[in-house]
Structure 1
Amino acid sequence: MTLAPRRAKLAAIALTGVGALTLAACSSGGDGNATASGSTGTSGSTSTEFTYLGQTQNTTIISTLESLGSGACSAEQASTPLVSDAIDGTTWDQQLQVLAGSDALSNMSMAAGTPSLMKDFIDAGKVLDLTDAFAQLGMTDPVLPAAEATLKQLYQTDDLYALPTEYNIEGFWYNKALFDQAGVTVPTTWSELVDAAAKLDAAGIQPFIAAGSDGWPVTRLVGDYILRDLGADALQKVADGSAKLTDPEYVAGADAVAALGQAGYFGPAAGSIDYNTAMNQFLTGGGAMFYMGSWALANFNDPEQDQIGVDNIGYFAFPEVEGGKGSISETPANAGIPVMFTTANYTDDIGAWVKCIAENYGNVALAESGQVTGFTITETPADQSDLTTMVQDQIANATGSILWFEAAFTSEGTTVSQTNGGGLATGSLSGADFMALVQTANEG
C-alpha cells in the first residue's frame, strides 16, 4: 500500500453504500468554490473555502495545516478559510472512489492508499499536476529531489502528482550498547548481518525485533534482499509479468529471511508482536536491531517512550547481498502519507494555498511534530536531535531510492503478503510457500 504502515493499520474492508452516499452528498469539495477552472487557476477565479479531507487516524496533517493557517498561510486563511473533515481510514480508498466519481473530492486530501488507484485518478484527470502548477505559480524546487523521484516512481509518472507530508528512509536502527556488549560491529553485507545476529543471540540478546502480527516489517526484509540481490528493477519485473515471485532467484530472498526466523532470531513470540509492542520492546532495550522507517523518530525523540536514550540509537542501511546487482547506496524509502489536490474547482485561491503549503509545510511539521518531510527545509529547530539531522542528511544525499516489497502488488497480493509475513519471522512458513501464496494472490 502507498501509506507507510502506521500505529493504526489501515486495512481495506467493504464499504457500506450509505456511508459512501452520505460523503458524496455532503462533501464541500464541490460546493465551496465560486468559479471552477482546470489544472491551473484562471485569472480572477476565486473560492469561498479551501477543503481538506483526511483520515481520523492521522491528526498530524490537519494540525500542521491549522498551524499554517494561523501563521505562514494566514493571508490564504483569511481569504479562503480552511474547512476540514475526516473519515475512518479503513474504508479510505473506497470512499475516495465514490467522491472522485461524483467530482466531489476535497480540494486537498490524503492520497489513495493503493498506488494503482492513484494512477487511475491521475489518468482520469482527477488529480492536479503539481509540476505544471508549480511552474504556473513561479515556484522552484519546493520538494526534495529524492522525495519527488520516489513519488514519480510510485505512480510511474513523469510529473509530480502528490506532496510528501512525510519522507521516510528505512533501515536498521540498532542499540549501540547491546552491539558493544556482544562485540558486534555494524554489518555492511548480508553475511555480516547473519553473523552479527548469531553473536547477539549467543550473548543472550534478541537480535531482531519485528511486528510479526502486522507482517509488513518482515516482508520489507524480503523485498530489500531481492532488490539488493537482483537489482532495483526486480520487483517491477514481477509487476510487469516478466518475472514471478516463485522464480528461484526471488524465492532465495524469502528463504534468507525465513532462515533468520528458523534460527529464532526474532524472538519466541514474533508472530504475536504488533507495531506498538515492537516499538516499546526496542525502546526499552528488549532487542538489538529494529527494521523501521524514519517516521519512528517521533518515538525515538520522546524521552517518555525512549528508555535506552536517543544517543544510544544508531542506524545502518540494509546491507548488500554478496555478488548482488543492487547497491547499498539505493535507500529503501517511501513518501509516508502523500497528499493530492483535485483538478475540480481548482482556482487562483486554491493555488495560493498549494504554494504556501509547499513552501512552509516542512518547516512547521518539523518544528511542531518532529516530522521529517519531503519538502525543502529552510528552518531547523534549535533542539533537533543528531539522529534527526542524520536522517535529513541521508535523504538530502541519497543517490537513488527503492520501494518496498508490496509497492507494485495488487490489493489482494498486498493483503496476503502482510497477513503471512509473520510466518517467516517465526519460522513456520518457508520462503517458497510464502512466495507461492503471494504470487497466486497477485494473479487472482
Structure 2
Amino acid sequence: MSRHMSRNAALAPILAGAGALALVLTGCAGGAGNAAAPTAFTYLINSENTMIPGQITALSEDQCKAENTALPLKVETVPQTNLDQKLQLLAGQNALPAMYAAGNAPALTKTLDESGNVVDFEVALAEIGALDDIEPAAISTIKSLYGGKFNVLPYQYNIEGIWYNKQVFADAGVDVPATWSELVAASAAIAKTGVTPFSASGEQGWPLTRLVGDYLFRDLGADALQKVADGDAKLTDPEYVAAAQAIADLGTAGYFGQGVGSIDYDTAASQFLNGKAAMFYMGSWILESMNDPERNKIGADNVGFMPFPAVEGGKGSIDEYPANVGLPSTMSAKVYDDKVADWLGCIAENYGSAALKDQGTISGFKANSEVSGIDPLTQVVQTTISESTSSVLWFEALFSTKATTTSQTNAAQLVSGAISAEEFMKLVQADLDS
C-alpha cells in the first residue's frame, strides 16, 4: 500500500475555493485532456535497457501490485537509434504512452514539453506528497540539463569523482588531497614510487575533458559552462584557458603515463584495477567492476572515492559532484490521470530501495527502506548522493554535437602537448560559435 495521497485527496483542500480552482486548472501537472484515458500503464523504453523495465515489472508484482491491478503495466521497446523518431511520430499522433524514455538529447524533451506532452514532476510529485522521495542532487542535475525544469525521472543516477588506491597512497606517504595543489603534490610523490598517478582513456577523450570541466566548476563556480552556453563567456577567455592548462600540466609532468592517446576505456580501467595506476577519474557506473573480485585485483576494500579537489581561491564547492541521469524517462501530461499518478507515487516511494536491493544500482530516488548486504563502495556512493543537495554537469553537457566531438578527439593532444591549452579551447569555441 502506498503511503502517498491520491491525487484527488491531495487536491481536495485546494478545490475548496474558486480562486484556488483556477490555479489548479492552469498549473496542474496533468495535460489538456485531449488524449484518451489510458487503459494500461504503458512504458516505452529503448530495447537496450533491460534493467529499468525489469525493476518496474518487479514492482508491479510486489509493492505496486494494487496500482498494476488498476492500470496494468505494459512494456514496449524500440531500438535507441529509432527512439527520437518514434517519440516524434507518437507525439504527432497524440499517442504518447503514460511513460516513455525521454529523447536522446534534452532538446527533444524540451520540444515535447512545449507541445504539452511532458509532466512537470515538481508539481505532480508535490500533489501526491512524493517530492521528498527524490534526491535533491538528482533534481539539481535534471534542472541543469533541462533548462531549469524537473521533467524527467532519475531511474539512473551517476556521480563522478576520483577513485584511488589506498595502499599506493600509503606507500607514497600522501593523504587524500583536498585542494588542487595537494593533488599535484600527491601525483609527484606517487610518480616517484614508480606507479602512474592517473589512469585515463585518451582514445575516448571524455575522461580527460571531464577534468577540464571539473577544474572550471571548482575555480569559476557551478555556472561556468552555463555562461559559455548563454554567450556570456567564451572558452578562450583567460580564466577558461587556465583550466585546460592545469590539466595539460598533469600530462606534461607525465602523470597520465605513456601513450595515453592510444589507451581505451577498458584498458584505463584495467590499469587501475590491477594496481598500475593510483587514481582513476570515473563515474559511479564503474561500481560493477570495482565490486567484481575477478576484475578488481587490488580488492574493493583497497579502493577509496574522493571528490575532485577544490581550486584555491575558487568559487566552486568541493561538495558539488558532476552527475548525470543516463537516458531518463518521463510521463505524458496528456494521459496523466489519477491511476497514472498512483503509479508515479508508488515508483517514487519504492524504486530507490528496490533497485539497490535487487540490482545493486543507484538511482535518483531515495532508498526509503533499509537495504542490507550492499557492497561497501556502493554504500559510499549512495551516502554521498544522499548528503548532496546540488550537482554540476560535465564539460560537454551543454555543447553541440560538433563541439563535443572536437573536444573529445583533441583531449589526448592537449595532455600530450601536441596542442596548447589555448589552441584546444579555441578549436572547441569555434564549433560553439558556428
Superposition TM-score tier, normalisation by shorter sequence: 0.7 to 0.9
* Residue of structure 1 equivalent to 2:258: 268
CA distance in 2, matches of 1:216, 1:88: 25
* Residue of structure 2 equivalent to 1:72: 63
* Residue of structure 1 equivalent to 2:15: none
- Pairing 1:401–2:391 present: yes
Answer whether contact 1:115 1:408 (CA < 8 A) is retained: no
CA distance in 1, matches of 2:44, 2:193: 50
CA distance in 2, matches of 1:76, 1:154: 31
* Residue of structure 2 equivalent to 1:205: 195
Instruction: Call closer, same or farther: CA 1:387–1:41 in 2, change over 3 Å.
Output: farther
- Structure 1: 5+ residue stretches without partners: 1-36
Shift of 1:90: 4.1
CA distance in 2, matches of 1:92, 1:256: 39
* Residue of structure 1 equivalent to 2:328: 338
Shift of 1:340: 0.9
Answer whether contact 2:29 2:124 (CA < 8 A) is retained: no
- Pairing 1:180–2:176 present: no
- Pairing 1:154–2:140 present: no
* Residue of structure 1 equivalent to 2:132: 141
Shift of 1:250: 0.5
Shift of 1:323: 2.0
Answer whether contact 1:46 1:348 (CA < 8 A) is retained: no
Shift of 1:66: 1.7
- Pairing 1:371–2:361 present: yes
1:210-289 equivalence runs, <5 A: 210-289=200-279
* Residue of structure 2 equivalent to 1:10: none
Give the secondary-structure state (helix, strand or coil) at the position aligned to 1:148: helix
Give the secondary-structure state (helix, strand or coil) at the position aligned to 1:163: coil
Shift of 1:83: 2.3
- Higher deviation after alignment, 248-257 or 70-79: 70-79
- Pairing 1:362–2:352 present: yes
Answer whether contact 2:97 2:335 (CA < 8 A) is retained: no
Instruction: Call closer, same or farther: CA 1:211–1:55 in 2, change over 3 Å.
Output: farther
Instruction: Call closer, same or farther: CA 1:104–1:206 in 2, change over 3 Å.
Output: farther
CA distance in 1, matches of 2:248, 2:83: 33
CA distance in 1, matches of 2:411, 2:58: 39
Instruction: Call closer, same or farther: CA 1:131–1:210 in 2, change over 3 Å.
Output: same
Answer whether contact 2:30 2:335 (CA < 8 A) is retained: no
CA distance in 2, matches of 1:366, 1:68: 13
Answer whether contact 1:297 1:370 (CA < 8 A) is retained: no
Answer whether contact 1:41 1:348 (CA < 8 A) is retained: no
Shift of 1:140: 4.3
CA distance in 2, matches of 1:422, 1:95: 37
CA deviation map 1:78-128 (0-9, x unaligned): 333322233333454454344434434332222223233332322332211
Shift of 1:253: 0.7
CA distance in 1, matches of 2:47, 2:264: 20
CA deviation map 1:330-358 (0-9, x unaligned): 22222333211122333333222222211
- Pairing 1:353–2:331 present: no
- Pairing 1:116–2:107 present: yes
Give the secondary-structure state (helix, strand or coil) at the position aligned to 1:96: helix
1:58-69 equivalence runs, <5 A: 58-69=49-60
Shift of 1:298: 2.4
1:48-67 equivalence runs, <5 A: 48-67=39-58
* Residue of structure 2 equivalent to 1:417: 407
CA deviation map 1:47-74 (0-9, x unaligned): 3222222223322212211211222122
**1:206 counterpart letter in structure 2:** T
TM-score normalized by the length of structure 1: 0.84
* Residue of structure 1 equivalent to 2:23: none
- Pairing 1:301–2:291 present: yes
- Pairing 1:317–2:307 present: yes
Answer whether contact 1:41 1:347 (CA < 8 A) is retained: no
Aligned length: 405
- Higher deviation after alignment, 346-355 or 197-206: 346-355
% identical equivalent positions? 50
TM-score normalized by the length of structure 2: 0.86
* Residue of structure 2 equivalent to 1:20: none
Answer whether contact 1:137 1:351 (CA < 8 A) is retained: yes
**1:309 counterpart letter in structure 2:** G
Answer whether contact 1:46 1:349 (CA < 8 A) is retained: no
Instruction: Call closer, same or farther: CA 1:302–1:78 in 2, change over 3 Å.
Output: farther
Instruction: Call closer, same or farther: CA 1:169–1:177 in 2, change over 3 Å.
Output: same
CA distance in 2, matches of 1:103, 1:330: 39
CA distance in 2, matches of 1:216, 1:102: 38
**1:275 counterpart letter in structure 2:** Y
CA deviation map 1:170-225 (0-9, x unaligned): 11010111112222221111121112222222211111112222221111100110
Instruction: Call closer, same or farther: CA 1:411–1:345 in 2, change over 3 Å.
Output: same
Structure 1 vs Structure 2 CA RMSD: 2.3
**1:336 counterpart letter in structure 2:** G
**1:69 counterpart letter in structure 2:** S
2:121 to 130, 137, 140: 130
CA distance in 1, matches of 2:155, 2:131: 18
CA deviation map 1:119-162 (0-9, x unaligned): 232233221111222233343412112211221222122x5211
